[in-house]
Structure 1
Amino acid sequence: MRKDWKYILYVGGAIALFVLVKLITPKQYNWNVTLAHDDKDPYGTYALFNLLPDVLEKKRIKHNYKTIYELKDSLTSNENILIVATSFNPDKEDCNALLAHVNNGGNAFISSQYIWGSFADTLDVGTRDYLFSGETLLKEDSTSITFVNPQLDTMEQYWYRKDNIQNHFDEFDTVKTTIIARNSNGKPVTIRIPFGKGNFILNATPLAFTNIYLLAGSNSNFVSQTLSYLPIRDVNWTEYYHLGRMEATTPLRFILTNEPLRWAYYITLFAILAFMIFEAKRKQRIIPIIKPLANTTLEFVSTIGNLYFQNGNHKNIAEKKILFLLDHIRTQYMLSAREIDDEFIKTLALKSGKSEQELRVLFRTIHFIQSATEISGEQLVDLNAKIETFNRR
């Protein structure tokens, strides 16, 4: 258990160090153009999302990632549609649903650098990027947008980076189109086109609606006054045409799209993985000391010998000792004891280093015991002494 706590402390310390580093590290901004309503980075539209209720007098702002065709059954004729994207080219079904909604009395605000396809052909509008058309706005790094109607803001200029508002409208029906705002070259960047019972408010500078400009100077006035051309109604803001279908496809969608929850999820996974790696090590149990098996051969022989001795069967013990002796002579000296004569005794004396007289006494004793019916304990002891003397080198 102590080892487990040690690993937990290690992981906890690593997590605490990571959180501390995240807290003291300066925030790194993401400069990608997301135009996402929940993105607080420079080119997100979090500020616009929070500004809309004030501009539209607290009307409801409904947000989604659906196409206009998917929304058509839920849209009402007195509802505004808001789209902010870098490029707007809806397919045929979306285009027909959008045109039908505005024709029935709805209004749509579309801010996009490039408006093309069947929708642009229907309204007879076209956009152009001055960076690729040979036009020049100003030699300076920044340029401005000005409203055409002097009653809006007394011709105040709103300044932006030149490469952020380089698009404008170069084609539109001059008879029915109203120009709302122009850039420094006098090119229209915001126009209004009536269609049926409703209106299209088209804008070619979507980056002017991002956080970096709404939170700087008076540029928020440009956004609020542009959106004031929409009637005070509920707004249905779809981000499908820039971000795609972002609805939850897994139960983790909510966690992964929320930065604090996302980091908590990743840290939890890391902690579990680290714990599994540490615990994967084989834990060595204490190895018990096992006593080696004792050599009980001598104890067994002693026990059997005592048994025979207590029963008084001296002859049986003597015969077994004789058999062991003859087997020892056969294996040690390579002599067979089938016939014990003078030749056998002489050969054994030479090999064993014993005297012939000593061997003759030993084998006479063996012959006597083998021929006797019973022997006494003293005779058994005498035999054992002679055998021990023979075996002793």
Structure 2
Amino acid sequence: MKKNTFYIVLFASLGILLAGLIIFVVRRRSKEYHFDTTVTLSYRDKRPYGAYVAYNELSRVFPGTPVALSRRSGSFTNDLQDSDRHQLMVVLSPRFYANSLEWNQLIHWVRQGNYLVIAASRFTQDVKDQLHLQLSNFTEDAFIEEGMIQLHDDSLYLGLAHPPFADTASFFYPGRKMDRSIVSLDSSFTEVLGTSDLHYANFVRIRAGDGVILFQTAPMAFSNYFLLYGRNMRYYDNVFSALPARVDKVIWNQYYLYKNQEEDSSSSWWSGLAKLLADPALGPAFRLLLLVLAVYVLLNMKRRQRIIPEIPPKSNESLDFVKTIGRLYYEKGDHRNLAIKMGQHFQEHLRTRYLVQLDPSEESSILRLSSRSGVSETLVRELATMLRYVHDAPSLDEAQLDEWYQLIQTFYKNAQ
């Protein structure tokens, strides 16, 4: 028997040791690094698909040139001035949802002698029509527009055209693709600078007045993962080398990274309203119409129906009856009878509220009531003692009746 006990303890110890080892290995593996596939393209994000490297490398590519951030809310075109020259704006986002008003202002700003770099996969029809570009369908199965993308993709291959670039090697990384191909363009003012692995254009340079637009349809090429993979930083340098030599200011645009399609779909309504208010004749007339409507609404807010009289709530006749009977017992000096009625009412309250019948002769009922009501045992014992005295005493005076009333009220105040 002792030998069997020894083997039982031995196998149990080995089983516990093995289970502990398995738990240790599982927990250690769960703490291992998991690749974060969230696409943000934010200038502050150091995750694989953030744009921290692309933003901070601007100071190296354009030494001595100030780098500024555009606003994240409202139209960024409000910051564009007619006096701007030799300024560069970088737009990096999964989608570039510019409405016609914003795009026209941006093109006007570029024509004055400024530069625009757009790296995105989705564009509004206004942008594609004005640039005379036709894009292919997406190369991945699904593309979620709400910013946080958790889909997996295969890899991205990019190449540069020769000329103008001397570096004709292909650039690759095994991460998200999210690119488009330019299947049709106007070669009279558009120059192909880069291609995809299928040799379709995905990076072009467009002349607009005295300015330049660099249009790139693979925004993942500016992600941290792509730029830090192998020698892909050369692709980044080549992209910005396609701009004129003089750049006095760089603007990193965050507006379209946070603007969604719903805002774009309603933008035509807002742009129409803005044009209406800006018109020298229709604007004041529209404001006057709004003022007249507001005055009309305010004048008609006055109550036209007479005030409905307030109906007083019905009185509790049963409560009035109880008060009358209690007053009758008190005025007749029948304090014992009144005290017994108070005790009966108190016992009914304990039965319905706490499911306890207070019995002065049973210690368990005192403890049970104290536990369920949260009232101290001392007070409950005093109530039990007084309850027995009320029933056993031949008569009660006014002071004893008042003491019994005060004990009951103290219980009500302290009970839960």
Query: Residues 138 and 178 of structure 2 are in contact (CA less than 8 Å); yes or no, is this contact kept in structure 1?
Result: no
**Contact 1:111 / 1:204 at 8 angstroms: preserved in 2?**
yes
The verdict on how the C-alpha distance between 1:217 and 1:162 changes in structure 2, with shifts beyond 3 A counting, is closer
Give 1:170's aligned residue.
Answer: 183
- Residue 65 of structure 1 pairs with residue 78 of structure 2: no
Aligned partner of 1:233 in structure 2 is 248
Q: Distance in 1 between matches of 2:255 and 2:83?
A: 16
Residue of structure 1 aligned with 2:53, choices 47, 58, 79:
47
Q: Which residue of 2 aligns with 1:243?
A: 258
Task: Note if contact 1:165-1:208 (Cα within 8 Å) is conserved in structure 2.
Answer: no
CA distance, structure 2, for counterparts of residue 151 and residue 113 of structure 1: 24
Tell whether the 8 Å contact from 1:80 to 1:236 is kept in structure 2 after alignment: yes
Instruction: Provide the C-alpha distance between the structure 2 equivalents of 1:41 and 1:143, rounded to a whole number of angstroms.
Output: 18
Q: Which residue of 2 aligns with 1:129?
A: 137
**Other-structure match for 2:212:** 199
Partner residue in 2 for 1:218: 231
Which residue among 121, 127, 130 is the counterpart of 1:119? Answer: 127
Partner residue in 2 for 1:208: 221
Structure 2, unaligned stretches of length 5 or more? 1-26, 142-153, 261-373, 386-416
Alpha-carbon contact 1:37-1:45 (below 8 Å) kept: yes
Tell me: CA distance 1:244–1:182, structure 2 relative to 1, closer, same or farther (3 Å).
same
Deviation digits for residues 41-97 of structure 1 (CA, Å, limit 9, x no counterpart): 111101111111111123111114253323224982221111011121301221111
Q: Report the Cα distance in structure 2 between the residues aligned to 1:27 and 1:132, rounded to whole angstroms.
A: 26
Q: After the TM superposition, which segments of 4 or more aligned residues of structure 1 sit over 6 Å from their partners?
A: 286-292
CA contact (8 A) 1:180 1:190 kept: yes
1:147 aligns with 2:156: no
Distance, in Å, in 2 between the alignment partners of 1:180 and 1:170 is 14
State how far apart, in whole Å, the 1-side matches of 2:248 and 2:31 are.
43
- Partner residue of 1:190? 203
Inter-partner Cα distance in structure 1 for 2:52 and 2:83: 24
Q: Which deviates more from structure 2 when the two are superposed, residues 109-118 or residues 46-55? A: 109-118
Report how many aligned residue pairs link the two structures: 235
1:36 matched to 2:59? The reply is no
Question: What does 1:226-375 correspond to in 2, within 5 Å?
Answer: 226-231=239-244, 232-244=247-259
Deviation at 1:147, TM superposition (A): 1.1
Measure how far apart 1:105 and its partner are.
0.8
Q: Which amino acid aligns with 1:233?
A: D
Shift of residue 26, structure 1, vs aligned partner = 4.0
Give the partner amino acid of 2:42.
Answer: A
Distance 1:126 1:116 in 2: 12
Identical residues among aligned pairs (%): 20
1:28–1:288: structure 2 CA closer, same or farther, 3 Å change rule? farther
Equivalent of residue 179 in structure 1, options 188, 192, 203: 192
Specify the structure having the higher radius of gyration (Cα).
Answer: 1
What's the counterpart of residue 95 of structure 2? 87
Distance (Å, rounded) in 2 between the aligned partners of 1:152 and 1:202: 16
Structure 1: distance between partners of 2:200 and 2:174: 16
Aligned to 1:208, the other structure's residue is in SS state helix
SS of structure 2 residue aligned to 1:152: coil
Instruction: Give the whole-Å Cα distance in 2 for the aligned partners of 1:181 and 1:162.
Output: 19
Structure 1 residue 287: Cα displacement: 10
Question: Is the contact between residue 29 and residue 41 of structure 1 (CA under 8 Å) also seen in structure 2?
Answer: no
Relative to structure 1, the CA distance from residue 146 to residue 65 in structure 2 (aligned partners, 3 Å threshold; closer, same or farther) is same
CA distance in 1, matches of 2:126, 2:37: 32
Tell me how far apart the structure 2 counterparts of residues 151 and 72 of structure 1 sit (CA, whole Å).
Answer: 30
Which whole-Å CA distance do the structure 2 matches of 1:166 and 1:102 have between them? 25
Q: 1:107 aligns with which of 109, 115, 119?
A: 115
Task: State the TM-score, normalized to the length of structure 2.
Answer: 0.49
TM-score, normalised via structure 1 length: 0.51
| Matched residue, 1:309 | none
**2:346 aligned partner:** none
Map of 2:364 onto structure 1: none
Contact 2:98 2:123 in 1 (8 A): no
For 1:32 and 1:191, the matched residues in 2 are separated by 28
| 1:77 maps to which of 53, 60, 85 | 85
Quick one: distance in 2 between partners of 1:216 and 1:122? 35
**Cα distance, 1:244–1:142 mapped onto 2, change above 3 Å:** closer
Task: Kindly report the root-mean-square deviation, in angstroms, between the aligned alpha carbons of the 2 structures.
Answer: 3.6
